[in-house]
Amino acid sequence: MSLFDLHPPEPSAQRSSRTPQHAIPLAERMRPRSLDEYSGQEHLLAPGKPLRVQIDREAAGTGELGSMIFWGPPGVGKTTLAKIIAESTHANFIEFSAVLSGIKEIKQVMAQAEQAAHMHSRTILFVDEIHRFNKAQQDAFLPYVERGTIRLIGATTENPSFEIISALLSRCRVYVLQPLSEDRIAGLLRRALEDKERGLGNLNIPADDEALLLIASYSSGDVRSAYNTLEVAAQLGDQGARPIDRPLATEAIQQRVLTYDKSGEEHYNLISALHKSVRNSDPDAALYWLARMFAAGEDPLYLARRVVRMAVEDIGLAAPEALNLCLSAKETIDFLGSPEGDLALAEAVVYLCLAPKSNSVYTAYAAARSEIEHTRQEPVPLHLRNAPTRLMKDLGYSQGYRYAHDEQDKVADMNCLPDSLKGRVYYQPTQEGREKQLAQRLEEIRRIRAKRHEENS
C-alpha cells in the first residue's frame, strides 16, 4: 500500500492483526475508533453542534461535508477526528504530510481522487501540518477543493489566519480544537490501564490517582504525550511489579511538555500576556508568564528587549528610572547569562508592575507621527533656521529667534511649530508618579509663555 492509495481508514484492530500488539505505541492502540469513543471537543461534536450536524448529514446522505481546517495544539485529536469522519461518512481517506510532500505528490493524489470521483466515490484528503505548505503548494489544492473532487481536512497548530492563504481559507470552515482538561486526560490514562483489548489492562498495573493527575498536568493538554509518559512509567515499574505512584510518574515525566514555538502564535500569545500583565500592575501574573517563556527556552535577550519596550511604552515619564533599570537587567543577562541573569529580568518586571503608569509620551509621539502622515510637510519657520551665510541672513533666516537663556524664566514668546499647526498639543502628561511634577512644570511654562505674549503684544 502506497501513500497515495485510496482507502477507508483502517480500524486499529485490523492493524493490530498484522503488527504485534506490544510493538504498537499505546497512544496508537488507544486511538478512538468512533465519535462515541472520542473524548473532548463537545463544543463541536455534542449532538446539535455544528461539526456533528455536518457529519451526521453527510453520513445520512442528506448533506455535503465541506472542506475544513482543524486548528489546535498537539495531541488533541486532529488526526483521529479526521479518520473518524472518513469512516463515519464512508469516504476514501488519504493521509498526507506537509513535511514530506510537494506539488508533484499533490498532483498525483489529486489525479487518483478525480478517478475515484468519476466512480462516485468520495475522498477526504487529510493534510497534517498544512501550515508548512508554501503558497504555491496550497494553491495546488484550490481547483480540486472548488470542484468538490476532494474534501480537504487540514490540521494545523498555527493560526490559520496567518498560515493559510486567503483563497483556500475562504473555502474551508475553521474548527478550533481545545486542549483536554487534566481530569479528562487522567480518566483516559485510567481507561488505558484497565483496557485489556488495546491498553495495559492485562498487566494489572496499580496506579495512584495523584500520579495520573501529575502525568496529565505535565502533558500540557497533549493526550498523546500523556499516553507516552504512562507507557514509560509502566516500563520503569517493570510492567506492574512496581505501582505507578508519584515518584515513578515524576521519573517518567523527566521534563515538562511545553507547547511553544518561538516563531509560532503561542510565542506571541505569551509575550502579549506578559506585557498586558505588566501594564495591569499584576506582578504575580507577569512573573508566571515570564517563567513560562524562560522554561520554554525563549531567548533572554528577546525578553529583555520587550521589557525595555514596556518601560518606554507603559511607564514612561511617570517613573523614568524604570528604563535604566531594564537596561541594567539586559546588561546583567549579557554578563551572567541564564539562569543566573534571569533573576535580574524578573526584578525589572516586578518593578514595572509596581511603578506608576503613563503612556502619554507614547500617545503624543503617535499623534505627532499621524500629523506628519496626514498633513503637508510644512517648511521650518525662518526664525528657527540657522543663518551661517549672508545670503541666508538676507533671506530672513534666524530673524526673530529669541535665545531662551536670555529670557526671564528661560521661556521665550516664540512659536516653534509651523504656522498651520500653531497651538497644536500632542503631549498631555498624566498625574501619575513623577509625571505629575512634569505636568505642573508644563502648566507653569504655558503661563509664562502666555504672559510674555501679552507683554510683547
Residue 27 above 70 pLDDT? yes
CA–CA distance, 140 with 394 (Å, rounded to integer): 69
- Topology annotation, domain 182-253: Helicase, Ruva Protein; domain 3 (1.10.8)
Residue 120 banded pLDDT, cuts 50, 70, 90: low
Which CATH architecture best describes the domain 265-354? Up-down Bundle (1.20)
- Would you call 153 helix, strand, or coil by DSSP? strand
Lowest mean pLDDT among 1-15, 93-107, 261-275: 1-15
The percent of residues above 90 in pLDDT, for the chain, comes to 39
Instruction: Read off the C-alpha cell for 372.
Output: 506628519
* Beta carbons of 70 and 177 less than 8 angstroms apart: yes
Q: How confident is the model at residue 101 (pLDDT cuts 50, 70, 90)?
A: low
Contact 224/259 with Cβ under 8 angstroms?
no
CA 152 to chain centre: 24
What pLDDT was estimated at residue 258?
A: 59
Task: Cis check for the bond before 47: say yes or no (omega within 30 of 0).
Answer: no
Mean pLDDT of the chain: 86
pLDDT in tens, 277-307: 999 999 999 999 999 898 888 888 889 999 9
439: amino acid identity, one letter: A
- pLDDT bin (cut points 50, 70, 90) of residue 407 is confident
CA angle at 347 for the pair 345 and 348, rounded to the nearest 5°? 65
CA distances from 369 to 57, 372, 386 (A): 55, 5, 25
Give the residue-averaged pLDDT of 382-411: 89
**pLDDT greater than 70 at residue 4:** no
**Residue 165 · residue 139 · CB < 8 Å:** yes
Edge-first strand order for the sheet with 92-97 is 92-97, 123-128, 151-156, 68-71, 173-176
pLDDT at 18: 55
For the 380-456 domain, the top CATH level (class) is: mainly alpha
Q: Given this model, what pLDDT does residue 355 score?
A: 94
pLDDT class for 377, splitting at 50, 70, 90?
confident
Q: Is the bond preceding residue 356 a cis peptide, omega within 30 degrees?
A: no
Q: Out of 29-38, 87-96, 175-184, which region has the weakest mean confidence (pLDDT)?
A: 87-96
Residue 58 scores a pLDDT above 60: yes
Q: What does the domain layout of the chain look like in residue ranges?
A: 12-176, 182-253, 265-354, 380-456
Helices (H), 119-208: 135-139, 142-147, 160-163, 166-169, 182-194
Residue 12: predicted pLDDT:
46
User: How far is the C-alpha of 155 from the C-alpha of 124, rounded, in Å?
Assistant: 13
Class (C level, CATH) for 12-176:
alpha beta
Do 411 and 452 meet the contact criterion of CB atoms below 8 Å apart? yes
The DSSP code for 219 is: T
Average pLDDT over residues 91-118: 75
Confidence of residue 22 (pLDDT cuts 50, 70, 90): low
Grid coordinates given for 254: 523527566
Cβ contacts of residue 198 below 8 Å, gap of 6+?
12, 16, 21, 29, 30, 192
Q: Give the DSSP letter of residue 211.
A: H
DSSP-assigned letters across all residues of 383-407:
GGS---SHHHHHTTTTTT---GGGS
Other residues' Cβ atoms within 10 Å of the Cβ of residue 24 = 16
**CA-to-CA separations, 225 to 26, 27, 112, 132, 252, in angstroms, rounded:** 10, 8, 35, 22, 11
Of residues 99 and 107, more confidently modeled: 107
**In what helix (H) or strand (E) does residue 455 lie, and over which residues does it extend?**
helix 435-456
Query: pLDDT tens digit string along 167-215?
Result: 999 989 999 999 899 999 999 999 999 999 899 998 899 999 999 999 9
Number of H helices, E strands in the chain: 22, 5
Contact yes or no for 231/30 (Cβ under 8 A): no
pLDDT at 83 over 50: yes
The 10 Å Cβ neighbour count of residue 232 is 18
